[in-house]
Amino acid sequence: MLARALRLSHALELTLYVILAMSVCDASLVVALGLAVLAMLALRAVVIAVTYAYAGAYASLAPRLSSRQRVLMVLGEYLSFVVTFLVIMPFERWWMGDDRLPRQATEGQGLTAAAPEDSRPPILLIHGYGCSRACWWWLRAHLEAAGWSVATISLEPIYTSIDDYVDPVARRVDEVLAAIGATQLVLVGHSMGGLVSRAYLQRYGGARVARLVTLGTPHQGSELARLGCGDNGRQMRPHSPWLQALASPPASVDTVALYSPQDNFVMPPALLELRGAQNQAIAGVGHLAMLYSPRVVQALLTVLEQTAARCPRAVTAAAEISKVADA
């Protein structure tokens, strides 16, 4: 489990820094702990600095931002990185809990009619590379506050072929639709999660998916993926054989690709666009910060409302049984 692995690695890292501070700097335990925390934060700052330095080679391909916009963007990405990997993901059970899907049936009472909110298709959130369902903590809460039924999934192991994630996603799709009593849902994928969604559509078709929305997905790969680990990292290299196979045949579902031209994990920016999809740029947002951006949430909600408006309410099994009972 990723959360357990992160807790262990962070504990070992913190211990190492404490030992170094006490032995090299002759610091007390309290001071050493403070220095260790600062060292952990500094290391994460270096990681984000490296991603932006790497993306700098392609900066000429993205719209220019003011100095203030650049500072806020980098700071927001750094805070998103720290919060996601040091706070939320290691302690997932504190933050996430189980998905709060409306229950179609109650014990001993059989099927019941769905709630009014269930007239809209449910949403399945699929996370990206090296993450878990915990990365959706902030965004899931905002979608639920807007009245949407939201489900998540954790894809494990974290370093394997993207194809290995397709069957677990298919099972989760079936579980969500059965729980809601709906016939279709909306797939929302962040980063690699968008590729997982497309691989699902390629293998199983789009009969159960009303729409696909991707956030910062490397549809054509990313130069930074050359530094990635595992089969999934290699598959996300620009124009890899896996990506070329994914593009033929194209996704069979209407797709909206939301992305930032200043993405610090997917570069150059043109690789974020998907041919045949509605590509929408949201400037001045980092890759991880998309998961915490009010502008991204608003854009996503707009797409979701458009999807709900054009998809008439599917008649659920519960409603059919209710009609038979009334007759």
Which pLDDT value is given to residue 158?
94
CATH number of 115-310: 3.40.50.1820
| Residue ranges, the chain, pLDDT below 70 | 60, 103-119, 312-327
Question: Would you list the domain boundaries of the chain?
Answer: 9-53, 115-310
CA atoms in the 13 A half-sphere facing the CB of 102: 22
Task: Identify which of 187, 181, 159 has the alpha carbon closest to the alpha carbon of residue 257.
Answer: 187
CA separation, residue 100 to residues 122, 179, 183, 267 (Å): 11, 11, 19, 36
Tell me the two tokens of residue 35: 């220095």
Which pLDDT value is given to residue 313?
52
Contact 266, 281 (CB under 8 A): no
Burial class (CB in 10 A: 0-12, 13-18, 19+), 99: buried
Which pLDDT value is given to residue 59?
73
Which letter, b or e, does each residue of 184-210 get, where b requires 16 or more Cβ atoms within 10 Å of its Cβ? bbbbbbbbbbbbbbbbbbbebebebbb
pLDDT digits (tens, 9 = 90+) for 19-33: 999 999 888 999 999
Which pLDDT value is given to residue 108?
40
3-class DSSP state for residue 266? coil
> In the predicted model, what is the mean pLDDT of the chain?
89
How many whole angstroms separate alpha carbon 57 and alpha carbon 168? 37
Which pLDDT value is given to residue 186?
97
- Cβ neighbors of 239 (< 8 A, separation 6 or more) are 220, 221
pLDDT digits (tens, 9 = 90+) for 204-248: 999 999 999 999 999 999 999 999 999 999 999 998 999 999 987
Which letter, b or e, does each residue of 58-69 get, where b requires 16 or more Cβ atoms within 10 Å of its Cβ? bbeebeebeeee
Cα end-to-end span (Å), the chain: 50
